[in-house]
Amino acid sequence: MEDRQNNAPSHEKARSLAKRLEFGPAPFIVGLVVALVFGWWIFPELLFSRQDQPVQFSHETHLKDASLDCSVCHHLRADGTFDALPSTKDCAVCHSQMLGKSEAERVFFNEYVKKGKEVDWKVYQKQPDNVFFSHAVHSLATCNNCHEFSERELCSTCHLDMASSKKPPVFRENRISGYSQNTMKMWQCEACHANPNHLGSTNASNACFVCHK
Task: Output the CA torsion sign for 68, 74, 158, 143.
Answer: positive
Residue type, 141: A
Ligand-binding site membership of 212 (annotated): yes
Q: Parallel, antiparallel, or unpaired: how do β-strands 82-83 and 75-76 relate? A: antiparallel
User: 193: annotated binding-site residue?
Assistant: yes
95 is in an annotated binding site: no
Residue 70 known to bind ligand = no
Segment 93-101 long-range contacts (CB within 8 Å, at least 24 positions apart): 94/66
73 is annotated as contributing to ligand binding:
no
Residue spans of beta strands (DSSP E) within 10-116: 48-51, 75-76, 82-83
198 annotated ligand-binding residue: no
End-to-end CA distance of the chain: 83
Single-letter residue type at 156: S
Q: Is 138 annotated as a binding residue?
A: yes
Return d(Cα 27, Cα 33) in angstroms, integer: 10
Q: Is 94 annotated as a binding residue?
A: no
Q: Is 91 annotated as a binding residue?
A: no
Q: State how far the Cα of 213 lies from the Cα of 200, in Å rounded to an integer.
A: 26
List, as residue ranges, the binding site for heme c.
135, 138, 143, 146-147, 155, 158-159, 189, 192-193, 208, 211-212
> Which residues fall in the annotated binding site?
135, 138, 143, 146-147, 155, 158-159, 189, 192-193, 208, 211-212
